[in-house]
């Protein structure tokens, strides 16, 4: 599926009703500056629509940005839908306002990386570059 020449493809998504999109858009820009191909879903996406877009666009990474507190149910839904679609190999990242006590639960659900607000972009970009096998 992945060819060595293809840049890393990332879908940045805003699941649920949360309208805080500053962070998501900044992370999009950070990925773009690092040479990745970025698709941003815009606000208010259902988990179904996010997974559909991820499969159609054949992305390597899905980044979920949640600042409303609904990160656990939304991540659960996205990860299980990805598995159903046979896309469990897609790297799932979660960013936003994530209480430290929820990080283990998010990993359990299938989030490979959890990046709370104020994580330096370099750290997120490096994580993706290392984890996505070319």
Partner 1 sequence: MSENRPVIWESGLEIKPVYGPAELAASGGDAGIGRPGEFPFTRGIHPLMYRERPFTMRQYSGFGTAAETHERFLFLIKNGNTGLNVAFDLPTQCGLDSDDPMAEGEVGRVGMAVDTLADMEEAFADIPLNDITVSMTINGSAVPIMAMYFAMARKRGYDLATLRGTAQNDILKEFIGRGTWIFPVEPSIRLVGDTIEYCARHAQKYSAVSVCGHHIRESGASPAQEMAYGLAIGRAYMRHVLQRGLDADAVARTITFNFDIYGNLWEQVCKFRAGRRLWARILRDEFGAKDPRAMHMRMIAGGGGGGLTVEQPENNIVRGAYYGLASALSGAQTMALCSYDEAYTIPSEHAARLSLRTMQIMIHEIGLCDTVDPLAGSYFIESLTNEMEAKIQAIVADLDARGGIVQGVAEGRVQAEVNRHAWDRERKQQSGEVKKVGVNIYREQEEQRPVEFHPYRDEEARKQIQRLNAVRARRDAADVTRRLEAVRAAAREGRNVMPAVIDAVEAYATVGEVCRALKDVFGSYQEPVRF
Residues of this chain that interact with partner 1 (CB under 8 A) are: 16-22, 25-26, 28-29, 32, 40, 42-44, 46, 68-70, 73-74, 97, 99-100, 116-118, 120-122
Using the minimum distance from each CB to partner 1, give the nearer residue, 42 or 134: 42
- The two tokens of residue 4 are 């060595």
In the complex, what is the shortest distance from the CB of residue 83 to partner 1, in angstroms, rounded to a whole number?
Answer: 19
Pinpoint the alpha helices (H) of the chain: 22-33, 47-56, 71-84, 103-109, 121-131
Using the minimum distance from each CB to partner 1, give the nearer residue, 35 or 89: 35
In the complex, what is the shortest distance from the CB of residue 58 to partner 1, in angstroms, rounded to a whole number?
Answer: 19
Using the minimum distance from each CB to partner 1, give the nearer residue, 25 or 134: 25
The DSSP result for 99-130, as a single string, is -GGGHHHHHHHT-SEEEETT--HHHHHHHHHH
């Amino acid at each position: 599926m992945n060819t060595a020449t293809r840049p890393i493809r990332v879908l940045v998504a805003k699941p649920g009703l949360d309208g805080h999109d500053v962070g998501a858009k900044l992370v999009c820009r950070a990925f773009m500056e690092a040479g990745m191909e970025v698709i941003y879903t815009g606000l208010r996406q259902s988990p179904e629509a996010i997974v559909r877009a991820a499969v159609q666009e054949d992305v390597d990474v899905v980044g979920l940005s949640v600042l409303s507190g609904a990160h656990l149910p939304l991540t659960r839904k996205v990860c299980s839908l990805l598995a159903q679609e046979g896309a469990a190999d897609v790297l799932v990242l979660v960013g936003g306002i994530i209480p430290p006590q929820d990080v283990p639960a998010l990993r359990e659900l299938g989030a490979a990386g959890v990046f709370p607000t104020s994580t330096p972009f370099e750290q997120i970009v490096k994580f993706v570059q290392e984890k996505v096998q070319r």
